[in-house]
Amino acid sequence: MSLSWAFRLPQLSGRAWLVWWRDYRTFMKTYKTNFIPPLVEPILYLVAFGFGLGGFVSKIGGESYAEFIAPALLAISMMTAAFFECTFGSFVRMYFQKTFDAIIATPLNVDEVIMGELLWGATKSVMYTVIVLGVVGVFGLVTFPMALLVVPFSFLVGLLFAGLGMTFTAVSPNIDTLSYPTSLYITPMMLLSGTFFPLDVLPAPVQQASWLLLPLLHAVNISRGMTYGELGPGMLLDLGWILAATAVVVVLSINLMRRRLIV
Amino acid sequence: MVTFVAPGKDIVVAKDLVKRFTDLVAVDGVSFAIKEGEVFGFLGPNGAGKTTTMRMIQCVSPLTSGILTVDDLDVVKDERRIKSILGVAPQEDNLDPDLTVMENLLVYSRYYDIPKAEAATRAERLLGFFQLEAKAATSIEKLSGGMKRRLLLARALLNEPRILILDEPTVGLDPQARHLIWDQLRQLRSRGSTIILTTHYMDEAERLCDRIVIMDNGRILAEGAPKDLVKSHMGDNVVECKLAPGVKECLAGTEGIKAIDVFGDTALVSTDSPQQVIEALLKGCGVESATVRRSTLEDVFLKLTGRTLRE
């Protein structure tokens, strides 16, 4: 069976932003509650791990433990904001609210609807990252102004995880099966991407597998460079990985969704 | 102002339309032509292929084979242009539950590139037309079923569509709400809109539709004006009587009988001359009582599609 349909170039136009605008508008209706999790979670992590557990941890590469996990918390917020928006959020809109059906009855096509969802997922990553950046900034854990680079960077990482989430959404028979990618992929990734401990304590094959399979690892690498104010050429490889993976999952998820919705 | 617009050119034309899914043929080679300005109804039992046909007209379900044009545009090539002249009110409520009534209309109008000020004007006018102005700031969850349906219709009219597509527009509504919707649809028709609808309600089809097709198993069984279909398939009247032995044979010589159908313990005799049939039944066939009623579209529907339950 030919798989060329899965990598067909999506038919997109600026109309995708209308879908983005719809999501933005509904989100802002309840923005006060929406902004609480991204504000509270990093503070909890910082207190529990950074300052609590961190008291028992020696410096890592010259950085305190709180400084070590601060860029990881930024990268994790980029990941979770977009991933959950484009899995559970998009599934509810697709399946329960029939929002996508309503929109494709208008001049918009499925490709544009899904692209709008992905752009919105990426935007949520930016919003959450800004909040977390504020938190770690208040605690003096990052170096400004270079740390501000994580803001545009979070859009790219957000788009990657939005596409990844949407790929799972497109093949998920119901909303409960979405917990599989969450607990089998996202949670391990959150722990094994050089987030809470440096990866070099793990065996080499595990390190290599992580490098190949875990997008968060690359996001953490770059985020760390930005917040420490130490960007190096090695990070170009991480950036290349992220760009390539983003292109693949964006195109793939749009085509999978088209196959699911257009019957 | 009400102006009557006579049905004009063919605005939706299907030729040998086929839609095949992996395990069934939903639409099996249908051809029809819908005229501009008419109300055209698709009738049929569940699974007949009505909704699939409508989805192909809406350009959201690709054809397996055949030709389908809307306003002389090919549904395969001109998806966007066709969708911009359609207004669709689906069977299932797909309003945005996160938004209010007014916001639903305003957000939706953006998908049609309607300028903001114009969208606000249209939304207010449509809320008035469907008697929802008092609900403008209400959230969708707090609307009754009838209100949601009216809002779906209002939303379908935002882009001032030339063709309105309605999938069971009054399903589950109380008589008051149904009559209100029928009135509004008649007004729209009198302004020249083409309306395509599916329905399970025969009275709805008889009241609203200029022409209907009756579908079953993906095929069109009959096509025409509701009155003509009743006349040609059933005759003017149906005589019902309790089934006695030999009734069918006994009526064999009586004139003006179109058909005799037996259903349970009742015999239904379709005829244009009920008087003669009754006389024959009471005098010659040993039947004690018989009733006459006018034939309806429901008689035609059941005759053509059978009385077997579908699901």
* Backbone phi and psi for residue B125, each to the nearest 5 degrees, phi listed first: -65, -45
Q: How far apart are CA B48 and CA A115, in angstroms?
A: 35
Cα-to-chain-centroid distance, residue B178: 14
List of chain A residues whose C-beta atoms are within 8 Å of the C-beta of residue B161: none
Mention every residue, 6+ apart, whose C-beta is less than 8 A from residue A109: A11, B79, B80
Instruction: Give the helix ranges, DSSP H, for chain B.
Output: 50-57, 79-84, 101-110, 116-129, 145-156, 175-190, 202-208, 226-234, 247-250, 274-279, 297-305
Q: How far apart are CA A154 and CA B206, in angstroms?
A: 59
Give the orientation angle of helix B297-305 with respect to helix B226-234, to 10 degrees: 60
A96-100, B25-29, B249-253: the lowest-pLDDT one:
B249-253
* Backbone phi and psi for residue B72, each to the nearest 5 degrees, phi listed first: 65, 10
- What pLDDT, on the 0 to 100 scale, is given for residue B91? 87
Question: Tens digit of pLDDT for each residue in A140-163?
Answer: 999 999 999 999 999 999 999 999
Q: Which residue in B228, B233, B225, B236 sits closest to B274, CA to CA? A: B236
**Are the Cβ atoms of B111 and A106 closer than 8 angstroms?**
yes
Q: What is the mean pLDDT of residues A205-230?
A: 95
| DSSP-derived secondary structure for A101-134 | HHHHTTT--HHHHHHHHHHHHHHHHHHHHHHHHH
- What pLDDT, on the 0 to 100 scale, is given for residue A1? 63
DSSP structural state of residue B154: H
Q: Which residue in A69, A29, A33 sits closest to A49, CA to CA? A: A69
List of chain B residues whose C-beta atoms are within 8 Å of the C-beta of residue A101: 60, 90, 94
Measured between CA atoms, how close is A41 to chain B, in angstroms? 25
pTM of the model: 0.92
Partners of B263 in beta bridges: B266
- What pLDDT, on the 0 to 100 scale, is given for residue B6? 55
Please state, as a whole number, how many other Cβ atoms lie within 10 Å of the Cβ of residue B115: 10
Q: How far apart are CA B154 and CA B188, in angstroms?
A: 12
Q: What is the mean pLDDT of residues A41-49?
A: 87
Compare CB distances from A106 to B83, B99, B103 and report the shortest one's residue. Answer: B83
Coil, strand or helix at B165: strand
Measured between CA atoms, how close is A100 to chain B, in angstroms? 9
Question: Tens digit of pLDDT for each residue in B2-59?
Answer: 445 555 799 999 999 999 999 899 999 999 999 999 999 999 998 899 999 999 999 9
B291 touches chain A (CB under 8 A): no
| Token code pair at residue A75 | 């990268």
Residues of chain A with a CB closer than 8 angstroms to some CB in chain B: 15, 18, 21-22, 25-26, 29, 97-99, 101-109, 262-263
B79 touches chain A (CB under 8 A): yes
Position B306 confidence tier, pLDDT thresholds 50, 70, 90: confident
Position A23 confidence tier, pLDDT thresholds 50, 70, 90: very high
Alpha-carbon distances of A219 from A40, A87, A155, rounded to whole Å: 22, 20, 11
Q: How far apart are CA B124 and CA B132, in angstroms?
A: 9
Q: Can you point out the beta strands (E) in B45-91?
A: 65-70, 73-74, 86-89
Mention every residue, 6+ apart, whose C-beta is less than 8 A from residue B244: B285, B286, B287
Alpha-carbon distances of A129 from A38, A124, A196, A245, rounded to whole Å: 8, 8, 18, 21
Q: Which of residues 18-57 of B touch A (CB under 8 A)?
A: 21
State the amino acid at position A170 in one-letter form: A
**Are the Cβ atoms of B61 and A262 closer than 8 angstroms?**
yes
| Token code pair at residue A16 | 């995708």
Question: Tens digit of pLDDT for each residue in B157-199?
Answer: 999 999 999 999 998 888 988 999 999 999 999 999 999 999 9
Mention every residue, 6+ apart, whose C-beta is less than 8 A from residue B218: B19, B25, B26, B27, B28, B29, B30, B48, B49
pLDDT at B1 > cutoff 50 = no
pLDDT at B242 > cutoff 50 = yes
